[in-house]
Amino acid sequence: MKFTWMKWSALPVALLMAGSVAMAQDQSSSGSQQPAPAPAATPAPAPEARPKPTIAQRKENQQDRIANGVQSGQLTAGETANLEKKEAIINKETAADRAANGGKLTAAEKQQVNQQQNKVSKQIYADKHNANTAHYGNNKVGQRRENQQDRIAQGIKSGQLTAGETAKLENQQKGINKQVAADRKANGGTLTASEKKQINKEQNGASKNIHQKKHNANTQPQAQPKP
């Protein structure tokens, strides 16, 4: 009887010890499986400030915007002629300033040019977003007008046409367009055979002018990208 009592009294102690060992193993196992703390996030570098465009880059950007407006029809021939006349004036002033300063512009002259270009920039935007657009129509006269404008736009983008040359070409197109509008108005919206012949003859002359000005020695220098 004494041996039996000792046997049963020792059993709870053994169970308690076994449970303590199991709990210690569980805690050790669960602790080893915990994920390592994530490394601290590296702060993103601050974006570099974009360099201001040079005078030449600004001029080229304006010409590209005008060319896009011509090609899309957002700019009429008259609007384009007016814009390019202003660009030609800025170009002449810039060339004169450079000639007087050994090929360079002073800080004050650069500021003045940028102020002038800011005004032209606003005018380009206004002209491209107003109600005036170039409507060519699905006819031979309209297709010829559109073809001439596409050739002029290509010359502006490539630098084959200077601002002054473009202004003259677009003034010529403006005159033809006015004549077409007046003839249509006098004839109930149509053109007579003789009027079409006359317009085609005038466009032939304008076409030769476009070719000549695109292939002469005068070019619009393209800006060199900053290193």
Q: Which residue has the higher pLDDT, 225 or 52?
A: 52
Confidence bin at 53 (pLDDT 50/70/90): confident
Q: What pLDDT, on the 0 to 100 scale, is given for residue 222?
A: 77
Mean pLDDT over 184-195 rounds to 95
Task: Tell me how long the chain is.
Answer: 227
Q: Is 16's pLDDT higher than 50? A: no
Q: Which long-range contacts (CB under 8 A, 24 or more apart) does 16-20 make?
A: none
Percent of the chain surpassing pLDDT 90 = 71
Closest listed residue to residue 86, CA positions, set 115, 106, 57, 44: 115
Higher pLDDT, 22 or 122: 122
Question: What's the mean pLDDT in 43-58?
Answer: 78
Long-range contacts of 222-226 (CB under 8 A, 24+ apart): 222/60, 222/159, 223/54, 223/56, 223/57, 223/59, 223/60, 224/56, 225/57, 226/51, 226/54, 226/57
pLDDT tens profile 55-106 = 999 999 999 999 999 999 999 999 999 999 999 999 999 999 999 999 999 9
Q: What is the pLDDT of residue 138?
A: 87
Query: Residues 143-167: pLDDT tens digits?
Result: 999 999 999 999 999 999 999 999 9
Cα–Cα nearest to 55, from 18, 26, 93, 85:
93
Task: Please determine, for residue 19, whether its predicted confidence score (pLDDT) is greater than 90.
Answer: no
Q: What is the mean pLDDT of residues 213-226?
A: 82
Counts of helices then strands in the chain (DSSP H, E): 7, 0
Grade residue 227 by pLDDT with cuts at 50, 70 and 90. very low
What's the confidence (pLDDT) of residue 92? 96
